[in-house]
């Protein structure tokens, strides 16, 4: 049974379903923050398209019953998009599902003893949302179709709304500290030397559309895992916020998975049309104006390994403390069958057999206290989820008759954080010397020539119903629109 609003009030400056009209302090704080947000969006949002009409989805409900739709579609100029504060309906009599407070009533106010930890969780999550918009701000200029451009902008505006969600929690529950943190979320910039984003992967460039699709497949999937864990939180406003964010996050991962599938499909079609039987004939495949499968594998190795680092160190006292406090649970905690306290449990982490870098003795599983290994467990859940999508990419390859499989590299490959950071592991998991690894780096990760080739393909295709040479037309379109639909009405120069 649920209570509170499932519909959203759009007759106010800041759309919401949290009764802002009766909360003058928070409403004023958000109204003061609003102009700075719009300035940030105009400065760091999609460059060159702020006056274009984009066919966007906007949430009008936070749950769907029967035939009711939770969102509507219409043309909107992005600066006019109705960002708002949307929380999933409140569950009556909800209990804390894990940690030392398991079974106690969920909190509706911040517990004083956990104030600093909870604020940190919200700030880190909030910092990732504008960062991805900043990373992707120039991609519209090289969009392979208006359809893909529209999907990019949909992801961007929803990441902006997710920033609003975290800022609401900061301003509502953390007073002056929360307002200062909200201001800092607008001050930091992806890749800035002076004020970079908090997590390393969100300071990397997104230079091309293959990178964008892999980012939304992998890094937004990390977002899904983090949001699922926070949705279990004993702090009910955070749980409700993340539960609705997950509804929107699903589309972001769809963009990534379907985008890579369409690239793979087009490459395989071009090889078949040209009579090329060996996908590893890289120069011959590239001459067709498509991205060869080995280069897709190398780009995937890069994005997968960068995303694994976002989970933090495999062994973490911070994660143990978050769990014990009831603030951040495990992926789909409610489906797990244990005591949800983990005081006596262990979890296995692969480590080199002799415990030293340079070993070729293989790997074995070392058991660690489950509370300290929560990041490793979440990372493993992420990998399992990723493999489902990779399997669909390989199905697209096998259906065209080619003997090639895309695979996720070993968990220790190209890691900069955690128990593997001082190892030099190949994608197959062999530990080699630093010199040997560097000598073969170009086999496993994109080099300058790979990046230059992909960049050479990034020519825009802005005609309705047309697609760049390196990507297939989608089989299913958003909201069942026809193939020649004008997803973005470009403003006159």
Sketch the domain layout of the chain as residue ranges: 110-489
* Tokens at 263, concatenated: 């690239």
Residue 46 has pLDDT above 50, yes or no: yes
For residues 358 and 434, the model is more confident at 434
> How high is the pLDDT of residue 491?
79
Q: pLDDT tens across 311-345, in order?
A: 999 999 999 999 999 999 999 998 999 999 999 99
Cα gap 321→97, rounded to integer Å? 15
Q: What percent of the chain has pLDDT over 70?
A: 96
Distances (CA, A) of 34 to 17, 20, 38, 440: 17, 14, 6, 50
Which pLDDT band, with edges at 50, 70 and 90, does 357 fall under? very low
Q: Across residues 379-385, what is the average pLDDT?
A: 97
Q: Across residues 223-237, what is the average pLDDT?
A: 97
Which pLDDT band, with edges at 50, 70 and 90, does 62 fall under? confident
Place of tokens 């769990």: 323
Which pLDDT band, with edges at 50, 70 and 90, does 256 fall under? very high
Which pLDDT band, with edges at 50, 70 and 90, does 355 fall under? low
Contact call for residues 202 and 188 (beta carbons, < 8 A): no
Q: Across residues 156-169, what is the average pLDDT?
A: 98
Contact call for residues 256 and 292 (beta carbons, < 8 A): no
Residue 65 has pLDDT above 70, yes or no: no
Q: Across residues 283-310, what is the average pLDDT?
A: 97
Residue 261 buriedness (CB in 10 A; 0-12 / 13-18 / 19+):
buried
> What's the CATH class of domain 110-489?
mainly alpha
Contact call for residues 18 and 88 (beta carbons, < 8 A): no
Closest CA to 221 of 391, 386, 393: 386
The whole-chain average pLDDT of the chain stands at: 94
Closest CA to 57 of 247, 213, 309: 247
Residue 191 has pLDDT above 90, yes or no: yes
Which pLDDT band, with edges at 50, 70 and 90, does 39 fall under? very high
Cα 448 to chain center, whole Å? 26
* Tokens at 59, concatenated: 């949430």
Contact call for residues 55 and 488 (beta carbons, < 8 A): yes
Q: pLDDT tens across 459-479, in order?
A: 999 999 999 999 999 998 999
Q: Across residues 372-390, what is the average pLDDT?
A: 97
Q: Which residues contact 213 (CB under 8 A, 6 or more apart)?
A: 255, 256, 259, 260, 263
> How high is the pLDDT of residue 353?
85
- The least confident of 63-77, 167-181, 287-301, 429-443 is 63-77
> How high is the pLDDT of residue 3?
39
Residue 360 has pLDDT above 60, yes or no: no
> How high is the pLDDT of residue 67?
46
Residue 363 has pLDDT above 80, yes or no: yes
Q: pLDDT tens across 104-123, in order?
A: 999 999 999 999 999 999 99
Place of tokens 């040997």: 436
> How high is the pLDDT of residue 5?
56
Residue 429 buriedness (CB in 10 A; 0-12 / 13-18 / 19+):
middle
> How high is the pLDDT of residue 4?
46
Cα gap 69→60, rounded to integer Å? 8
Q: Across residues 438-455, what is the average pLDDT?
A: 98
Q: Across residues 138-167, what is the average pLDDT?
A: 98
Q: pLDDT tens across 5-22, in order?
A: 567 899 999 999 999 999
Q: Across residues 179-206, what is the average pLDDT?
A: 95
Strand-pair partners of 7: 61
Residue 131 has pLDDT above 60, yes or no: yes
């Amino acid at each position: 049974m649920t209570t509170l609003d499932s519909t959203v009030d759009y007759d106010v400056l800041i759309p919401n379903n949290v009764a802002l009209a009766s909360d003058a302090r928070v409403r004023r704080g958000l109204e003061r923050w609003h102009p700075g947000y719009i300035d940030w969006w105009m400065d760091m949002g999609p460059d060159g398209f702020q006056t274009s009409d984009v066919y966007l989805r906007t949430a009008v409900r936070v749950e769907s019953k029967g035939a009711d739709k939770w969102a509507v579609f219409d043309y909107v100029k992005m600066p006019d998009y109705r960002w708002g504060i949307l929380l999933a309906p409140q569950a009556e009599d909800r209990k804390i599902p894990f940690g030392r407070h398991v079974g106690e009533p969920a909190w509706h106010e911040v517990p004083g003893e956990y104030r600093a930890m909870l604020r940190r969780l919200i700030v880190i999550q909030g910092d990732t949302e504008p960062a991805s918009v900043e990373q992707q701000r120039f991609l519209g200029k090289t969009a392979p179709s208006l359809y893909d451009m529209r999907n990019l902008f949909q992801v961007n505006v929803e990441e902006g709304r997710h920033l609003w969600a975290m800022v609401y929690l900061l301003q509502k529950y953390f007073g002056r500290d929360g307002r200062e943190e909200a201001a800092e979320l607008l001050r930091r910039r992806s890749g800035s030397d002076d004020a970079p984003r908090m997590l390393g992967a969100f300071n990397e460039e997104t230079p091309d559309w293959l990178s964008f699709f892999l980012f939304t497949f992998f890094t937004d999937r990390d977002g899904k895992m983090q949001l699922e864990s926070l949705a279990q939180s004993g702090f009910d406003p955070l749980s409700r916020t993340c539960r609705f964010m997950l509804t929107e996050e699903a589309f972001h991962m769809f963009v990534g998975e379907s985008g890579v599938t369409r690239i793979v499909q087009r490459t395989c079609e071009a090889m078949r049309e040209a009579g090329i039987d060996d996908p590893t004939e890289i120069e011959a495949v590239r001459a067709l104006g498509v991205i060869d499968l080995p280069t897709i594998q190398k780009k995937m190795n890069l994005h997968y390994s960068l995303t694994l680092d976002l989970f933090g160190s495999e062994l973490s006292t911070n994660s143990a403390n978050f769990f014990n406090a009831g603030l951040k649970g495990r992926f789909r905690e409610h489906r797990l069958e244990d005591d949800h306290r983990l005081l006596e449990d262990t979890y296995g982490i692969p480590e080199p057999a002799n415990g030293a870098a340079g070993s070729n003795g293989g790997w074995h599983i070392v058991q660690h206290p489950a509370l300290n290994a929560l990041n490793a467990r979440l990372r493993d859940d992420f990998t399992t989820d990723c493999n489902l999508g990779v399997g669909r990419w390989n199905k697209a390859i096998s259906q065209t008759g080619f003997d090639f499989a895309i695979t996720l590299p070993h968990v220790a490959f190209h890691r900069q954080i955690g128990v593997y950071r001082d190892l030099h592991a190949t994608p197959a998991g062999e530990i080699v010397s630093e010199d040997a690894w560097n000598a073969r780096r170009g086999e496993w990760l994109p080099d300058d020539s790979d990046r230059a080739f992909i960049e050479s393909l990034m020519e825009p295709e802005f005609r309705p119903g047309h697609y760049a040479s390196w990507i297939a037309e989608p089989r299913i379109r958003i909201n069942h629109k026809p193939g020649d639909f004008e997803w973005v009405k470009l403003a006159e120069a």
